Amino acid sequence: MDVLDLFLVATSTIGFICVCKALIKFLKWVWVMFLRPPKDLKEYGSWAMITGSTDGIGKAMTLELASKGLNLILVGRNPLKLEATSKEIRDHGHNVEVKFVVLDMQKVGGVEMVKRIEEAIEGLDIGLVVNGAGLAYPYARFFHEVDLELMDAIVRVNVEGATWITKAVIPTMIKKKKGAIVNIGSGSTIVLPSYPLVALYAASKAYLAMFSRCISLEYKHQGIDIQCQVPLFVSTKMTRMKTSLFVPSPETYSKACTRCIGYEKLVVPYFLHSVQGFLIKAIPETFLDSYMLRYFLYWRGRGLSKDAKIKASTASNSEAN
Ligand SMILES: NC(=O)c1ccc[n+]([C@@H]2O[C@H](COP(=O)([O-])OP(=O)(O)OC[C@H]3O[C@@H](n4cnc5c(N)ncnc54)[C@H](OP(=O)(O)O)[C@@H]3O)[C@@H](O)[C@H]2O)c1
């Protein structure tokens, strides 16, 4: 065999291995997204607790879990919205027990939060916890423009909330030797290389991804499945986006979320988000960085002019009075 033959054999072998790897990856993706049977969530326990259960993704997940026959502990800051979610569960004809924990994660400290959650789950067969509560900027802004109150709220709700709630439920799950915890992360940190002008939000979600990956290894052998689920855009009050091909409704999205519970440490549950992520990752990072900066500068400009209009009309109203 001469050198040219050797070269041809080597390159075609490498090519064949690459094609096989890509094919296996694609088949695995099809299995995960469409064919893999979801876990029987009742096996973890008869109760599920959801934060952020009063709106958007968390609320849709609440209804989805109710349809699976799980009793629910709804955690939220607004008693009226908690009652409204509970009414929706009844209106859908789901015959499950519902309890509330009124908790404003922005105002309640960690130790107090743990105490209240421990009290709420005492004596209940708690199997699943979804940390869905989250907060973003009303619109994009430079880091120095984030006012202290908003900064405090994002850290408390996005980072501390999920951390303290996990701390409160883990001991019970260890005793039972089973349980599942889902932390809702964000595509801003997993799919994109940067999220300028929304830095604090993206960083808080990066924390959740790493936190989930680490503790999932710590507790896997204790029968506890910990996962960070990664949405890209979903049509909720947080994004104020209409539903479209890549922007599902919370109801569609929550079905995909529920199917994935208990499997990977980190997962993009909705198949079109996963396709979107794949396409985005094919774009060079420098291009994405500069595009994201321009994109958020535009939204910052829109937000500022909207704020200015609101201020002007408030001032003219108070002058008129
Ligand atoms: N929508 C998206 O495109 C998207 C993308 C990536 C990641 N995510 C993440 O997905 C999760 C759900 O987002 P979403 O779009 O469904 O948002 P959403 O519609 O604004 O709902 C957020 C939920 O969090 C609750 N919450 C906010 N501040 C709270 C506080 N201080 N104490 C207790 N609960 C509080 C809200 O309660 P109220 O009902 O009282 O406001 C609401 O139930 C968040 O973690 C978000 O970061 C969303």
Please, what are the domains in the chain? 39-298 (3.40.50.720)
**The pLDDT of residue 213 is above 90:** yes
In percent, the amount of the chain with pLDDT more than 70 equals 100
**The pLDDT of residue 297 is above 90:** yes
Q: Given the CA of residue 188, which atom of ligand 1 is nearest to it?
A: 6
What are the tens digits of pLDDT across the range 237-281? 999 999 999 999 999 999 999 999 999 999 999 999 999 999 999
Q: Given the CA of residue 187, which atom of ligand 1 is nearest to it?
A: 6
User: How far, CA to CA in Å, does 266 sit from each of 93, 189, 207, 213?
Assistant: 33, 12, 13, 7
**The pLDDT of residue 228 is above 80:** yes
The confidence score (pLDDT) of residue 314 equals 85
CA of 57 to the centre of ligand 1 (A): 7
Lining ligand 1 with CB less than 6 A are 52, 54-58, 76-78, 81, 104-106, 132-136, 157, 184, 186-187, 231, 233-234, 236-239
User: Could you tell me the two tokens for 152?
Assistant: 């405090």
Q: What is the mean pLDDT of residues 133-145?
A: 96
The confidence score (pLDDT) of residue 313 equals 86
The Cα–Cα gap between 132 and 54 comes to 10
The confidence score (pLDDT) of residue 206 equals 97
Q: What is the mean pLDDT of residues 109-127?
A: 97
CA of 29 to the centre of ligand 1 (A): 28
The Cα–Cα gap between 69 and 67 comes to 5
The confidence score (pLDDT) of residue 197 equals 97
Q: What is the mean pLDDT of residues 283-309?
A: 96
Question: What's the mean per-residue pLDDT of the chain?
Answer: 96
What are the tens digits of pLDDT across the range 33-56? 999 999 999 999 999 999 999 999
What are the tens digits of pLDDT across the range 86-100? 999 999 999 999 999
Ligand 1, atom 6, lies closest to the CA of 186
Write down the pTM of the prediction. Answer: 0.94
CA of 260 to the centre of ligand 1 (A): 20
The pLDDT confidence band at residue 317, using thresholds 50, 70 and 90, is confident
Selection from 171, 259, 170, 160 nearest residue 207 by Cα: 160
The Cα–Cα gap between 131 and 176 comes to 20
What are the tens digits of pLDDT across the range 173-201? 999 999 999 999 999 999 999 999 999 99
CA of 157 to the centre of ligand 1 (A): 9
Which residues have CB under 8 Å from 130's CB, separation 6+? 48, 49, 50, 51, 52, 58, 61, 65, 181, 182, 184
CA of 186 to the centre of ligand 1 (A): 12
**The pLDDT of residue 57 is above 90:** yes
Q: What is the mean pLDDT of residues 132-142?
A: 96
**The pLDDT of residue 16 is above 90:** yes
Which residues have CB under 8 Å from 248's CB, separation 6+? 234, 235, 256, 270, 272
In percent, the amount of the chain with pLDDT more than 90 equals 94
Active site (catalytic) residues: 201
The pLDDT confidence band at residue 320, using thresholds 50, 70 and 90, is confident
**The pLDDT of residue 66 is above 90:** yes
Cβ-in-10-Å burial (0-12, 13-18, 19+) of 67 comes to: middle
Q: Given the CA of residue 237, which atom of ligand 1 is nearest to it?
A: 19
Query: Among 50, 51, 55, 273, which is best to mutate for testing ligand 1, by the most ligand atoms less than 8 A from CB?
Result: 55
Q: Given the CA of residue 250, which atom of ligand 1 is nearest to it?
A: 16
**The pLDDT of residue 4 is above 90:** no
